[in-house]
A and B are shown apart, each in its own frame.
Chain A
């Protein structure tokens, strides 16, 4: 079943068109990887899926994006509720200027997910454990989140994103600043999360896309060149451009 269906999506930054007629189905409880050279529009497309492009003044999105069969681009969409359901981990880690604890507890608290302090503590601990950060921070939960290393901050943001149990998790290069151990832990987490969540991940690592995803879409110059099962894309893609890209014959 498709969780998300994008139809004829066009995106403009001012006069410049960044995405051209993107049609893409994103199956439920699977990992979809978006790959393609820098500037091809992966992040732009990802941001369409929870209307994060709204915050960019000059950005205009056209077309239909249905999540659970509901077109999120309707005026009446409650964007705050939407982003609660469609969580996001950004390309650059962006912890709140608060304590580590508060970075995680903030979401569950405002959504009334915890009945007691104990429950909230538990959510914070679980989220940090899932994001493979618990052991490193369990003794310093009251320190500011911004005091962590880049890779730790990224895992903090992942913990924050999953703490509210979103239906869909969008990840924009979540491992680009992580060491191989943390990367493996995040990949394990993604495997685990896909049992209950739908995940869309942008990655520049071909091997990561191959490892974690079931579906892969290849973007080039704002167009979706090919989308298909990850197996097919990495073993025998239909498009020459896809093959050139994944085998390192580009440009």
Chain B
């Protein structure tokens, strides 16, 4: 449903600006995630450094969006679709900010890993990283196109992310078990894997928000869950 423009142009522009900022912020997060995994797997500290530095840009987008949302609510009193636009922008921006933080954390750990990792490990991480990147890209497309269909696809695919995460965890645990000298890097890799999985969870949160944004109702039912996690976290 594409909406007619508002009679008051400045209001229309303000809402457009909010959406644009969110899209650009999402783009930054996509880059951060991609680069954080690339840096880890190629043992590239320069890229890792860039991811860490760029996180302030993402943080700034979040505060900017928060400010815009508060202004819209205080000064425009948005209703119906406009209210959902405003409120979901706030929630999505906070999920994206977490995505940025998690990517940054991957890069901080990358900097503490100084040797090349075994290929089977980097491959596992790349595989789960790639699917989460794809999910993030898709959910941003869903947002840009206001497409609940794409959002539902993303939401349902989280199962695959969970499965790949668990496989990756198994690899990391094998690596940890294979020698005391692997404990330090192996511990970092446990967190890295968990971080990627968490990014996937934020992506599904965003998918839920987009569904609500367009339909005004909530995605019903339990999200399909993958295999039982090996390491029990807060989930």
Could you list which residues of chain A lie within 8 angstroms of chain B, going by C-beta atoms? 206-207, 210, 234-237, 240, 243-244, 246-251
CB contact under 8 A between A243 and B81, given known A236-B216, A236-B217? yes
A145 to chain B, nearest CB (A): 35
Assembled-state Cα–Cα distance A250/B77 (Å): 17
CB within 8 Å for A249 and B79 given contacts A235-B216, A236-B216, A236-B217: no
Known interface pairs A235-B216, A236-B216; A250-B7 also in contact (CB < 8 Å): yes
Does A249 contact B6, Cβ atoms closer than 8 Å? yes
Distance between Cα atoms of A240 and B8 in the complex (Å): 18
**CB–CB A235/B83 < 8 A:** yes
Which chain B residue has the least Cβ–Cβ distance from A236?
A: B216
- CB of A249 within 8 A of CB of B80, answer no
A207-B77, A234-B79, A243-B81 given; A248·B217 CB < 8 A: no
Chain B residues whose CB sits within 8 angstroms of the CB of A251 once the complex forms: 7
For B216, the chain A residues whose CB sits under 8 A away are: 235-236
Supplied contacts A243-B81, A248-B6, 10 more A-B pairs, CB within 8 Å: A210-B79, A235-B84, A236-B80, A237-B80, A240-B1, A246-B79, A246-B80, A247-B6, A247-B82, A248-B8
| Sampled A-B contacts (20; CB under 8 Å) | A234-B80, A235-B80, A235-B84, A235-B216, A240-B1, A243-B80, A243-B81, A244-B4, A246-B80, A247-B3, A247-B6, A247-B78, A247-B80, A247-B81, A247-B82, A248-B7, A249-B3, A249-B4, A249-B6, A250-B7
Contacts of B6 in A (CB 8 A): 247-249
Chain A residues within 8 Å of B185, by CB: none
Q: Contact residues of B with A, CB < 8 Å?
A: 1, 3-8, 11, 77-84, 216-217
Question: Are A249's CB and B217's CB within 8 A?
Answer: no
Name the 5 nearest CB pairs between A and B, nearest first. Answer: A236-B216, A249-B4, A246-B79, A247-B82, A243-B80
Shortest distance from the beta carbon of A37 to any chain B beta carbon, whole Å: 11
Shortest CB distance B8–A (Å) = 6
In the complex, the answer to whether A249 meets B78 with C-beta atoms within 8 Å is no
Q: Give, as a whole number of angstroms, the nearest-CB distance from A42 to chain B.
A: 19
Interface centre among B3, B7, B80 (most CB of A within 10 A): B80
List residues of chain B with CB within 8 A of the CB of A235. Answer: 79-80, 83-84, 216
A251 to B1, CA, bound (A): 18
Q: How far is the CA of A244 from the CA of B3 in the complex (A)?
A: 8
Interface centre among A236, A246, A247 (most CB of B within 10 A): A247
A244: B residues at CB distance < 8 A? 3-4
Smallest CB separation, B52 vs chain A (Å): 41
